[in-house]
Amino acid sequence: MKVLELLAKHPTERLSLARIVREAGLSRATAHAVLTQLTADGWTVRDDDSCYGIGLGLLTVARRAEAGFPLRRVAAPHLRALAQRTGDPVFLAERDGDSIVVTEVVGHPSAGWIRPGRRLPLAPPVCREFVSWAPESERAAWLAAADPAHRERLARVLTEIRARGYSVERLVDDSTPVLEALAGLRDSPITETLRAQLGSVITELITIDYLPDELGTQNAVVTIAAPIRDAAGAVVAAVVSCPDTRLSAAELSELGAVTVAAAEAIGATGSGRS
């Protein structure tokens, strides 16, 4: 799996055995044995310079596997249309149990964490659009996991998100580089205590969403996320626009409306509905 994941990150390249050994963290003997078998089975190919790349066997399996995830396929044209209309990068985030996974990205979002396969915990204060339409018991459990200092505001924000149809991520001043550094540390091998402390610091750097009376002439907007719901009304995914700029209240409302429309169009297809 390490070898296949490494090659999949460089689909148009051919990687030398030495590079695979180094980047996959394998011994030369193990890497050579693995690649010999993968190549024999058609999962990888080897060129005349003894460098390796993805084989047709892996491509075939990947295409078959996509049939098990219809939402991404259905959403793709809507995401492209939204990005073309607004000029902003867009991504699809799908719920997977207690996590959110980025499954499709159109354009080049400024935030480094936005990339296919990135997994985020369904934990406060983020992923609000996934919780706002949840049953009261689920919302209460989510709020209970939040920093006590932010619970009252988060409860008001969840109500506001249900009313307007989308969440807004905004940052205080120029804290984006600090947040990305802290987020990277939180994802590294550290103790749960330190992880919780980092989460608290990250929360302190975030002004959670906008309430109606807080909108000014220019408003910092990193992302706008609108829910995709199944037939029962449960939020299974979200369409996320990434303007990462300052918008007037009217511009924010307009971008929110077109993002909601894209999410509703995807949900209306019936794909991804339970």
Contact 60, 53 (CB under 8 A): no
Question: How much is the mean pLDDT over the chain?
Answer: 85
Asked whether the predicted pLDDT for residue 96 surpasses 60, the reply is yes
Which of the four pLDDT bands, split at 50, 70 and 90, describes residue 186? low
| Residues 32-89: tens digit of each pLDDT | 999 999 999 889 999 988 899 988 888 777 766 666 557 888 899 999 999 999 999 9
pLDDT of residue 272: 44
Share of the chain above pLDDT 70, in %: 82
Looking at the DSSP assignment, which residues form a beta bridge with residue 119? 101
| Residues 5-17: tens digit of each pLDDT | 888 888 888 999 9
| Residues 124-160: tens digit of each pLDDT | 888 999 999 999 999 999 999 988 888 999 999 999 9
pLDDT of residue 64: 67
Give pTM, 2 decimals: 0.68
DSSP 8-state class, residue 272:
T
State the span(s) of the chain assigned CATH 3.30.450.40: 68-268
Asked whether the predicted pLDDT for residue 176 surpasses 60, the reply is no
Fold of 2-64: Arc Repressor Mutant, subunit A (1.10.10)
Q: Output the furthest CA–CA distance in the chain (Å, rounded).
A: 66
State the span(s) of the chain assigned CATH 1.10.10.10: 2-64
How many degrees, rounded to 5, is the angle at CA 202 between CA 263 and CA 164? 30
Fold of 68-268: Beta-Lactamase (3.30.450)
The token pair that represents 250 in the structure block = 């009217």
* Residue with the larger pLDDT of the pair 207 and 15: 15
Helix ranges, the chain (H):
2-9, 17-24, 28-40, 56-66, 70-86, 128-131, 136-144, 151-164, 176-186, 192-205, 249-268
